[in-house]
Chain A
Amino acid sequence: MNIIRWRGFLSFLLITGLIATGGLFFAESITRDFLESQITDLNGAKANIEKVNIQYSPFSLDIRNIQITDPQQPMINSVQIDQARFDMSLGNLLLKKIIINDMSISGIRIDTPRKTSGAIKKKTVPATTATAKNKEDELIKLPEIDLPDIKDILKKEPLISDTAFKSLNDDIDATRDSWQKTSDQITDKARWDSYEKRYKLIQDNLKGNFQQKLSAIQDAKKLKDDLTKETEQIAAARRQFNQDWDRLETEFKTAKDAPSNDVKRIREKYSIDNLNAENISQLLFGPQASEYIAMAQKWYARLKPYIEDDEPEQKPVERSKGQDIRFAERNPMPDFYIEKASLDAQLPRGNFTGSITHISSDQSINKKPMRLLLRGNNLKHRDSEEITAEFNYIDKDKGFSLFNYALVNYQLNDFAISKNKKLALSIDKSLMDFKIQSRLENGQLEGTSLTKFDAVAFSSNKSSAGNSMSSMLANSFSGIDAFNISTRYKGSLHKLSFKIDSDLDNKLGAQMKIKLKQRVQQFEQQLKASIQEKYREPLEKIEQKRQKLNAIKDSIDARQKALQQRMDDLKTKINSEAELKKQELDKKLDDKKKQKVDELKNKLLKKLGR
């Protein structure tokens, strides 16, 4: 029997042949779909590829018309690339590694319109434009150039003084009512008249016979007990009065200080403290800097998915899938690596060419940092423009990114440097050099920038003849033809603090600074006076009420004093009557004793017969 099954052999060849041919035939569309889905997942919005051509010897991919949607604007492509060509290693591709020896990307354009929306349903795109705007607002709190109107402030601002005066007034009224009630109770005329009558009766009885005197003493004791109770009541009321008085004094002090506190608060709210010539550059260029930071944040968010290191997650061993054991490689390569990518971008400002080297999914394997160099050619309105960047994550714990940008001799026309409503300042014409250096490490960005302006011609929306502060500022700028701005920034990408310095501050002149300072001081004094004037009358009324309260307190004090006197008097009378009575009794006893002794003496003499 023939053990070879020739029909089987032919079937094997046929099956493998069909699979191979099908693979080759559909490889391009499979690759296109795969790339589109991968980029879409990374980007968060649709990515479209028109065509993919695969060549097998040497193995290369040629991708045409890549459109990557801006997730925030689905009808705009954040990047569109006419052609991307990749020379790859097929062997590594079989090992699921994308190793690109040479990559060239040409016809890069940004923010191009799309024919169809590139939004994807599964992810809701956060409204980062609005968020960025909000964040921008948070970055710096800018004061207005001109001081606010005091009348407006007093109209719309809730003042601490209002609350303090109302609270004090209410408390004084309530306390006065309570005191009056207590006072009325203490100084009840009928009761005190009865005490007076009883006192007089006691006095009359004391002049009478023995029985009357005895009754007077008993009445005096009762009256003394009643008056002691009255004294205790008055003392309790006095203690309450003292407590109320202390509280009212504290509230009175708060109300009296409230206008000053209001001035302080308004000064902080309207950033009036910042309004001085020392930080005029922060004031003018702050919003512009915020805009650039927001733009940088937007671009960082776009690039983040591509430059962030994908840390492989330690997954548990899945049943039926096992675990891949890794061994030492002679030429270790990360799962994704591009040795060199040449770039050619056509931007509205001119053509940019450059390269990115060593793009890697894991720099700790290939041990080389990713570097970017982009230079402008045939540029419009500038001599040169260059971007260099380094993303060094070879040591993952000490990874950092560097970014440098330099612009030379940029012809600036109609450049708005301040969009502040009160003082819109712009440069009509100037030559500008700009340099920026940044370092991002552990989520913290730090950097500096320097902008030099030469042959400057300013223009403003304010007439220099005006008397307002903005006019004063606008006038000061007219004599300046060159200045520098340097910025230092530090912090996390979402909460960046920055300081802007400029020689403009010096150039604006000492007089300008003094005038500004005087204006601010004057404003503060006026504001304080206005608030104090507003509360002058209520304060006077409160003062009157305080005096009335004081009168009640004095009347209680007088009552307490009179009562004490009457008590002392009563006590003296009782004591003196008791003393007299004692003396009378003693005398009577002595007389009786003497009489008895005499009787006994006479009886004894009689018995003795004398």
Chain B
Amino acid sequence: MFSQFIKFFRILSSETSPMQISTALALAMIMGFTPLMSLHNLLVLFVLLIFRINLASFLLAWAVFSGIAYLLDPMFHSVGHSLLTNKDMLSQWTEMYNSTFWRVSHFNNTIVMGSLAISVAAFIPVVIISNLLVRYYRSHLYVHFQNSKIVRFVQNSKLFTKIVSMAE
């Protein structure tokens, strides 16, 4: 996990496109928030593998978002329940419920529906915000960060060197 952090910070400082990192974070959010064995995660995996998206960032963010998801479960259930019991959408849900494909997607589960709805809604904002943050870090924070006493101390420590060598 720690090595993943080191890798992530290296990627942040590298020439990897900010878009690749921010897309990885947004996709990790979908996979982390929603139950893993869901049909849409196959699509996420497909997108992740076929497009040039940063895998290390994805793996780290996935772990983080999975932890957050545990805390947000009650909210996902509540959002999913209100969406699935919304009378205006009843005909749409009924139509989907009668389709094998949608039933296999398990859309009628409150957690699946709630977490997917929230993560899809947050996808674009997460991409944009994380993109801006990466750019801001590279242009403003990186130099200060590298020159800070703490970072220097950590970088010069034997433990850090060992961990880096293990990560590589």
- Which candidate, A117-125, A317-325, A559-567, is the interface stretch facing chain B? A317-325
A9 interface hit (Cβ, 8 Å): yes
Within 8 A of A (CB), among B101-119: 103-104, 106, 108-112, 114
Chain A CB within 8 A of B45 CB: yes
Are B81 and A325 in touch, CB under 8 angstroms? yes
Q: Provide the residues of chain A in CB contact with B51, threshold 8 Å.
A: 3-5, 8
**Binary contact readout B58-69 vs A (1 if CB under 8 angstroms, 0 otherwise):** 000000000000
* Segment of B3-11, B89-97, B124-132 engaged in the interface with chain A: B89-97
Q: Does A399 contact B (CB under 8 A)?
A: no
Measured CB to CB, the nearest residue on chain A to B90 is A327
Establish whether residues B49 and A8, one from each chain, have CB atoms under 8 Å apart when the complex forms.
yes
Query: How far, in Å, is B23 (CB) from chain A's closest CB?
Result: 10
Give the distance in Å from the alpha carbon of A324 to the alpha carbon of B52 in the complex: 36
Q: Which residues of B contact A16 (CB under 8 A)?
A: 42
Cβ proximity bits B8-51 to A, threshold 8 Å, 1 near / 0 not: 00000000010000000000000000010000001001101111
Chain A residue with the shortest CB-CB distance to B111? A322
Q: How far is the CB of B33 from chain A (nearest CB, A)?
A: 11
Q: How far is the CA of A16 from the CA of B43 in the complex (A)?
A: 12
Do residues A12 and B46 form an inter-chain contact, with CB atoms below 8 A? yes
B100 partner, pick from A4, A5, A91, A320, beta carbons under 8 A:
A91
B100 close to A95 (CB less than 8 A): yes
Closest chain A residue to B50, Cβ basis: A9
A322 to chain B, nearest CB (A): 3
A91 and B100 alpha carbons, distance in the complex (Å):
6
Instruction: State whether A11 touches B112 (Cβ < 8 A).
Output: no
Q: What are the interface flags for A510-546 relative to B under an 8 Å C-beta threshold, 1 for contact and 0 otherwise?
A: 0000000000000000000000000000000000000
- Which residues of B lie under 8 Å from residue A4 when comparing CB positions? 50-52
Partner of B104, one of A5, A94, A323, A330: A94
CB distance from A97 to the nearest CB of B (A): 10
Chain A residue numbers with a CB within 8 Å of B103 are 94-95
Task: Determine if B108 and A327 form an interchain contact, defined as CB atoms under 8 angstroms apart.
Answer: yes
Which listed residue (A3, A319, A321, A325) contacts B85, Cβ 8 A?
A325
Number of interface residues of B (CB under 8 A): 34
A117 to chain B, nearest CB (A): 38
Whether B100 pairs with A2 at a CB distance below 8 angstroms is no
Do A9 and B108 touch across chains, with their CB atoms under 8 A apart? no
Q: Closest CB of chain B to A16's CB: distance in Å?
A: 8
Q: A130 on the interface (CB 8 Å rule)?
A: no
Q: Which residues of B contact A330 (CB under 8 A)?
A: 98
Pair B98/A329 contact, Cβ less than 8 Å: yes
Q: For B111, list chain A residues within 8 Å (CB).
A: 320-322
Known pairs A327-B94, A327-B97; A322 contacts B50 (CB<8 A) = no
Write out the residue numbers on chain B whose beta carbons fall within 8 Å of the beta carbon of A606.
Answer: none
Give Cα A327–Cα B50 distance, bound, in whole angstroms. Answer: 36
Q: Is the CB of B110 within 8 A of A323?
A: yes
Given A2-B52, A12-B45, A319-B73, A325:B84 Cβ within 8 A: yes
Determine how close the nearest CB of chain B comes to the CB of A333; give it in whole angstroms: 12
Question: Is the CB of A190 closer than 8 A to any CB of chain B?
Answer: no
Measured in the bound complex, the distance between the Cα atoms of B48 and A317 in whole Å is: 33
**Given the complex, which residues of A lie within 8 Å of B77, measured CB to CB?**
317, 322-323
B50–A12 touching, CB < 8 Å: yes
A610 proximal to B (CB < 8 A): no
Report A-chain residues with C-beta under 8 Å of the C-beta of B145. none
Measured in the bound complex, the distance between the Cα atoms of B15 and A276 in whole Å is 109
A317 to B77, CA, bound (A): 9
Which residue of B has the minimal Cβ distance to A8? B49
Q: Is B160 an interface residue (CB 8 A)?
A: no
- Let me know if A3 and B52 touch, CB within 8 A: yes
- Chain B's closest residue to A328 (CB) is B94
Tell me if A465 is interfacial: C-beta within 8 Å of chain B: no
Q: Is B136 an interface residue (CB 8 A)?
A: no
CB distance from A371 to the nearest CB of B (A): 29
Cβ A12 vs Cβ B52 within 8 A = no
Which of B17, B104, B109 touches A324 (beta carbons < 8 Å)?
B109
A163-222 CB contacts (< 8 Å) to partner B = none
Contact of A329 among B85, B97, B104, B106 (CB under 8 A): B97
Nearest Cβ distance between residue B84 and chain A, in whole angstroms?
A: 4
Contact between A322 and B49 (Cβ–Cβ < 8 Å)?
Answer: no
Task: Specify the chain B residue showing the minimal Cβ separation from A2.
Answer: B52
| A1 CB to nearest chain B CB (Å) | 7
Look across to chain A and name the residue whose beta carbon is closest to the beta carbon of B103.
Answer: A95
Give the residues in chain A near B97, CB-CB below 8 Å.
326-329
Q: Which residue of A lies closest to B98 (CB)?
A: A330
Which residue of B is nearest A331, CB measured?
Answer: B98
The CA of A95 and the CA of B110, in the complex, are separated in Å by: 17
Residues of A within 8 A of B109 (CB): 322-325
> What residues of B have a CB within 8 angstroms of the CB of A95 in the complex?
100, 103-104
Q: Is the CB of A5 within 8 A of B52?
A: yes
- B14 to chain A minimum Cβ distance, whole angstroms, is 14
**Cα separation A12 to B41 with both chains bound (whole Å):** 13
Residues of chain A contacted by B108 (CB below 8 angstroms): 324-327
Q: Which residues of A contact B49 (CB under 8 A)?
A: 5, 8-9, 11-12
Tell me how far the C-beta of A95 lies from the nearest C-beta in chain B, rounded to whole angstroms.
5
Q: Which residues of B contact A2 (CB under 8 A)?
A: 52
User: A330's closest neighbor in chain B, by CB?
Assistant: B98
Q: Mark contacts of A1-44 with chain B using CB atoms, 8 A cut-off: 1 yes-contact digit, 0 otherwise.
A: 11111001101100010000000000000000000000000000
Complex-state Cα separation, A328 to B90, whole angstroms? 10
CA distance A326 to B109 in the complex (A): 9
Distance (whole angstroms) from the CB of B165 to the closest CB of chain A: 27
A319 to B70, CA, bound (A): 9
| Contacts beyond the supplied A319-B74, A325-B93: 15 A-B pairs with Cβ under 8 Å | A2-B52, A8-B50, A11-B49, A16-B42, A94-B103, A320-B35, A322-B109, A322-B112, A322-B114, A323-B77, A325-B84, A325-B85, A325-B110, A327-B93, A327-B108
Sample of 10 A–B contacts (CB below 8 Å): A3-B52, A319-B74, A321-B111, A322-B112, A322-B114, A323-B81, A327-B90, A327-B97, A327-B98, A329-B97
Give residues in B with beta carbon < 8 Å to A: 17, 35, 42, 45-46, 48-52, 70, 73-74, 76-77, 80-81, 84-85, 90, 93-94, 97-98, 100, 103-104, 106, 108-112, 114
Closest 6 CB pairs of A and B: A322-B111, A8-B49, A327-B97, A322-B110, A325-B84, A12-B49
